[in-house]
Amino acid sequence: MHLHRVLIANRGEIALRIVRACHEEGIEAVAVYSDADRSSPHVRAADRAMPIGPAPASESYLRIDTIIEAARASGAQAIHPGYGFLAERAPFADAVEKAGLIFIGPPGSAIRAMGDKTEARRRMEAAGVPVVPGGTAPLTDEREARALAKTIGYPVMVKAAAGGGGKGMRVVAAESELAAALKAASSEAVKAFGDGSLYLEKFIERPRHVEIQILADYAKTVHLGERECSIQRRHQKLVEESPSVAVNPQLRRAMGQAAVAAATAVGYRGAGTCEFLLAADGSFYFLEMNTRIQVEHPVTELVYGVDLVREQLRIASGRGMSVSEWPLAPRGHAIECRITSEDPSNGFLPSTGRIRYLRVPSGPSVRWDAGVEAGDEVTLYYDSLLAKLIVHGIDREHAIRRMDRALRELVIVGVATNQVFHRRLFADAAFRAAEVDIQFLDRRPDLLAAAEDAERDLRFAVAAALAEDERRRSQKPAVARDAGGPSAWADAGRRDALR
């Protein structure tokens, strides 16, 4: 089926990314917007735009009925969910198909199977995919949790059965900490997912977080290598890169085969990501599957030369993947920094305000995926992600130098961002040597706290530059002479000559 119009049920940088992919495929893009996003870049870039309600996501971007009605009213044939919001909600995928529209993503059954972490663990074990030792069913009470924790051995991880993104997770080092961790994790899971179910698994000491990108159409399922996502703060990724220095060709093949088996086990279709914990001895364990396009997908695109969003569109239309030769070999090294409106000097608390000035990095192999521009208002209604800065180099060291240069070129004034944290990270010897794991920042609070002075200095310097720029703009321009007379420049030159 040829798609001629697609509605994008999202906002910000990913919505703009999908608009561009649609245009390159000759497809009209329909944006949706809340009252707060009326003039956002993704709305202006789309061919059509549909209002969907007030600023709070619960009254706009999370309203399944409103999104589907907008698609029908716009004449769209398909809906692309992007990431976040409704992207991994099985009822949304089901409702889209029930409405006679195409969901650009996996079927609801696959989302449902992978969305329930305990069900996913059972399926992965049945498919021969290695999983972290632990339970395969939600816990029923504290007594069961204590017995299981004793069997698998401390430390253990308490995790939300319906969760993701670090919500409802607690590390428990000893039995005395278990009761409090269960209570806190369950409460957090209820608030985040509406489901307080928990399960336990063994806590792997100092692993890397390595994920495998997969693509599946109606004929085959393939993988496009790995991404290293070990630089995390409170289970939230800050930096991603591809390939991982810890993965050799043999390990890449094994992890890729496990990811393909995982996707096949749930009848997957489209783009998805299998996340693994990689231990120092090379053993790896299935963590979860993200049944959507990932925030960090650009690093895979730059290293493997495949446009993942266009592949999503092709697969949804029934045309299948465009690349026929597998496996692909990685070329060079790519790194992504998430630029967020979070203040490193204030415990990474969200920052709001108007972006008064924005200077975007450029140059060879520098990519800026953003959903904001100068003049835009940053609010607390949505995620703090402003943009993604991605670079590609001939190797990791080259990519690090290129990112360091790009971060120094980037200027954002009006809201606090995590830019200075990234600059300190990329200057750190341990990071440059790739001596990292998912607890790296837990052991290096200096990289988080030390950003304060540099952040303040940067703000003062930029504020001074902006003040000078505004002063010059506000000055009364010189009165122009009569068009027939000599110019001010000619007068000045004549005076210099007479001296």
pLDDT in tens, the chain (499 residues): 789 999 999 999 999 999 999 999 999 999 999 999 999 999 999 999 999 999 999 999 999 999 999 999 999 999 999 999 999 999 999 999 999 999 999 999 999 999 988 889 899 999 999 998 888 789 999 999 999 999 999 999 999 988 766 789 999 999 999 999 999 999 999 988 889 999 999 999 899 999 999 999 999 999 999 999 999 998 899 999 999 999 999 999 999 999 999 999 999 999 999 999 999 999 999 999 999 999 999 999 999 999 999 999 999 999 999 987 788 999 999 999 999 999 998 889 999 999 999 999 999 999 999 999 999 999 999 999 999 999 999 999 999 999 999 999 999 999 999 999 999 999 999 999 999 999 999 999 999 885 555 555 555 556 655 655 666 666 655 444 344 444 555 455 444 544 4
Q: In which residue are the tokens 């009006």 written?
A: 414
Q: Are strands 28-34 and 208-216 parallel, antiparallel or unpaired?
A: unpaired
Which residues are CB-neighbours of 252 under 8 A, at least 6 positions away? 225, 226, 243
What pLDDT does residue 167 have? 83
Select the CATH number that applies to the domain covering 133-202 from these four: 3.50.50.60, 3.20.20.140, 3.30.1490.20, 3.40.50.720: 3.30.1490.20
- The architecture of the domain spanning 5-104 is 3-Layer(aba) Sandwich (3.40)
- Measured CA to CA, the distance from residue 422 to residue 447 in angstroms comes to 9
Select the CATH number that applies to the domain covering 208-454 from these four: 3.30.310.40, 3.10.310.30, 3.30.470.20, 3.40.50.2000: 3.30.470.20
- Measured CA to CA, the distance from residue 315 to residue 219 in angstroms comes to 10
**Which of 417, 295, 423 has the alpha carbon at shortest distance from 355?**
417
Q: What angle do CA 287, 293, 295 make, to 5 degrees?
A: 80
Decide if 215 contacts 315 (C-beta within 8 A): yes
What pLDDT does residue 193 have? 85
**Which of 356, 208, 226 has the alpha carbon at shortest distance from 299?**
226
Decide if 118 contacts 198 (C-beta within 8 A): no
| Residue 322 in tokens | 């465009």
Domain regions of the chain by residue span: 5-104, 133-202, 208-454
Report, as residue numbers or ranges, the catalytic residues: 292
**Which long-range CB contacts under 8 A does 35-39 form with residues at least 24 apart?**
35/60, 36/377, 36/379, 36/381, 36/382, 37/11
Separation in Å, CA 455 to CA 171, 178, 238, 337, 426: 32, 39, 18, 17, 15
Which residues are CB-neighbours of 375 under 8 A, at least 6 positions away? 354, 355, 356
What pLDDT does residue 325 have? 77
Q: Are strands 333-340 and 236-242 parallel, antiparallel or unpaired?
A: antiparallel
- Measured CA to CA, the distance from residue 102 to residue 254 in angstroms comes to 33
Strands, E assignment, 9-114: 28-34, 48-53, 78-80, 102-103
The DSSP result for 245-261, as a single string, is: TT--HHHHHHHHHHHHH
Decide if 33 contacts 52 (C-beta within 8 A): yes
* pTM listed for this prediction: 0.85
- Measured CA to CA, the distance from residue 247 to residue 253 in angstroms comes to 10
- Measured CA to CA, the distance from residue 390 to residue 143 in angstroms comes to 48
| Residue 248 in tokens | 């050799």
What pLDDT does residue 478 have? 46
- Measured CA to CA, the distance from residue 494 to residue 499 in angstroms comes to 9
Same CATH topology for 133-202 and 208-454: the answer is no
**Which of 199, 149, 202, 157 has the alpha carbon at shortest distance from 175?**
149
Residue ranges in 194-331 assigned as alpha helix (H): 249-265, 297-304, 308-316
Which residues are CB-neighbours of 191 under 8 A, at least 6 positions away? none
- Measured CA to CA, the distance from residue 474 to residue 309 in angstroms comes to 45
